Homo-oligomer: A and B are copies of this chain.
Amino acid sequence: MSERELRRSMSVLPMGTVITLTGLTARQIRYYESQELISPNRSASNHRLYSLNDIDRLLLIKDYLESGMTIQDIKHLEHKQQAKDQLSDSAARKLLQSELMRSGGLINPHHKPLH
Protein backbone atom coordinates (compact mmCIF):
# COMPACT_ATOMS: atom_id res chain seq x y z
CA MET A 1 0.00 0.00 0.00
CA SER A 2 1.27 3.48 -0.87
CA GLU A 3 1.90 6.07 1.78
CA ARG A 4 -1.07 8.01 0.47
CA GLU A 5 -3.40 5.02 0.61
CA LEU A 6 -2.15 4.28 4.10
CA ARG A 7 -3.06 7.77 5.25
CA ARG A 8 -6.44 7.55 3.58
CA SER A 9 -7.22 4.29 5.32
CA MET A 10 -6.25 5.40 8.82
CA SER A 11 -9.24 5.25 11.18
CA VAL A 12 -8.97 8.45 13.20
CA LEU A 13 -12.13 10.47 12.62
CA PRO A 14 -14.91 10.34 15.24
CA MET A 15 -18.61 10.70 14.54
CA GLY A 16 -18.74 14.48 14.89
CA THR A 17 -16.11 15.01 12.22
CA VAL A 18 -17.92 12.65 9.86
CA ILE A 19 -21.17 14.50 10.41
CA THR A 20 -19.44 17.78 9.52
CA LEU A 21 -17.67 16.41 6.45
CA THR A 22 -20.61 14.49 4.98
CA GLY A 23 -23.66 16.47 6.04
CA LEU A 24 -25.27 13.22 7.19
CA THR A 25 -26.84 12.69 10.61
CA ALA A 26 -25.47 10.24 13.17
CA ARG A 27 -28.65 8.26 12.71
CA GLN A 28 -28.04 7.90 8.98
CA ILE A 29 -24.40 6.96 9.37
CA ARG A 30 -25.17 4.29 11.95
CA TYR A 31 -28.06 2.96 9.88
CA TYR A 32 -25.83 2.49 6.83
CA GLU A 33 -23.48 0.55 9.07
CA SER A 34 -26.34 -1.65 10.29
CA GLN A 35 -27.12 -2.31 6.63
CA GLU A 36 -23.46 -3.28 6.08
CA LEU A 37 -22.64 -0.52 3.67
CA ILE A 38 -19.75 0.56 5.88
CA SER A 39 -17.92 -1.04 8.79
CA PRO A 40 -15.85 1.54 10.67
CA ASN A 41 -13.26 0.50 13.21
CA ARG A 42 -13.78 1.14 16.90
CA SER A 43 -11.61 2.80 19.50
CA ALA A 44 -10.63 1.00 22.69
CA SER A 45 -13.61 2.73 24.30
CA ASN A 46 -16.02 1.58 21.59
CA HIS A 47 -16.33 4.87 19.70
CA ARG A 48 -16.53 4.61 15.91
CA LEU A 49 -13.43 5.74 14.04
CA TYR A 50 -13.63 6.57 10.32
CA SER A 51 -11.01 6.98 7.62
CA LEU A 52 -10.89 9.41 4.70
CA ASN A 53 -11.86 6.48 2.50
CA ASP A 54 -14.93 5.98 4.69
CA ILE A 55 -15.80 9.65 4.15
CA ASP A 56 -15.60 9.20 0.38
CA ARG A 57 -17.72 6.11 0.63
CA LEU A 58 -20.38 7.86 2.71
CA LEU A 59 -20.51 10.78 0.26
CA LEU A 60 -21.01 8.26 -2.55
CA ILE A 61 -23.78 6.50 -0.63
CA LYS A 62 -25.38 9.86 0.01
CA ASP A 63 -25.38 10.65 -3.70
CA TYR A 64 -26.84 7.27 -4.57
CA LEU A 65 -29.65 7.63 -2.05
CA GLU A 66 -30.44 11.18 -3.14
CA SER A 67 -30.65 9.92 -6.72
CA GLY A 68 -33.48 7.61 -5.66
CA MET A 69 -31.58 4.36 -5.21
CA THR A 70 -32.34 2.13 -2.26
CA ILE A 71 -29.74 0.65 0.03
CA GLN A 72 -30.25 -2.75 -1.53
CA ASP A 73 -29.71 -1.20 -4.96
CA ILE A 74 -26.40 0.19 -3.76
CA LYS A 75 -25.27 -3.13 -2.39
CA HIS A 76 -26.13 -4.90 -5.65
CA LEU A 77 -24.41 -2.22 -7.68
CA GLU A 78 -21.26 -2.57 -5.65
CA HIS A 79 -21.26 -6.32 -5.99
CA LYS A 80 -21.30 -5.90 -9.76
CA GLN A 81 -18.59 -3.28 -9.68
CA GLN A 82 -16.48 -5.51 -7.51
CA ALA A 83 -16.83 -8.34 -9.97
CA LYS A 84 -15.88 -6.03 -12.81
CA ASP A 85 -12.85 -4.80 -10.88
CA GLN A 86 -11.71 -8.36 -10.33
CA LEU A 87 -11.97 -9.02 -14.04
CA SER A 88 -9.91 -5.92 -14.66
CA ASP A 89 -7.34 -7.06 -12.18
CA SER A 90 -7.18 -10.42 -13.87
CA ALA A 91 -6.73 -8.79 -17.28
CA ALA A 92 -4.08 -6.49 -15.88
CA ARG A 93 -2.18 -9.43 -14.46
CA LYS A 94 -2.21 -11.22 -17.76
CA LEU A 95 -1.05 -8.12 -19.59
CA LEU A 96 1.76 -7.52 -17.14
CA GLN A 97 2.83 -11.13 -17.37
CA SER A 98 3.00 -11.19 -21.16
CA GLU A 99 4.95 -7.94 -21.11
CA LEU A 100 7.46 -9.39 -18.71
CA MET A 101 7.78 -12.54 -20.80
CA ARG A 102 8.40 -10.59 -23.99
CA SER A 103 11.18 -8.67 -22.25
CA GLY A 104 12.63 -11.93 -20.92
CA GLY A 105 12.16 -10.91 -17.33
CA LEU A 106 10.14 -13.87 -16.23
CA ILE A 107 9.69 -17.54 -16.92
CA ASN A 108 6.38 -18.59 -18.41
CA PRO A 109 4.43 -19.93 -15.45
CA HIS A 110 2.71 -22.43 -17.76
CA HIS A 111 5.87 -23.46 -19.55
CA LYS A 112 6.42 -27.12 -20.27
CA PRO A 113 9.92 -28.22 -21.29
CA LEU A 114 10.33 -29.43 -24.93
CA HIS A 115 12.15 -32.62 -23.84
* Chain A residues numbered 1-16 whose CB sits less than 8 Å from any CB in chain B: 12-14, 16
Q: Are A17 and B21 in contact (CB under 8 A)?
A: no
Give the number of times this chain occurs in the complex, counting copies.
Answer: 2
A72 in contact (CB, < 8 A): no
Chain A, interface size category, equals under 10
A20–B20 Cα gap in the complex (Å)?
Answer: 20
B residues less than 8 Å from A17 (CB atoms): 12-14, 17
A 36-50 binary contact with B (CB < 8 Å = 1; else 0):
000000000000000
B residues less than 8 Å from A14 (CB atoms): 14, 16-17
Residues of A within 8 A of B (CB): 12-14, 16-17, 20-21
9 pairs of residues in contact across A and B, judged by CB atoms under 8 Å: A12-B17, A12-B20, A12-B21, A13-B13, A13-B17, A14-B14, A14-B16, A14-B17, A17-B17
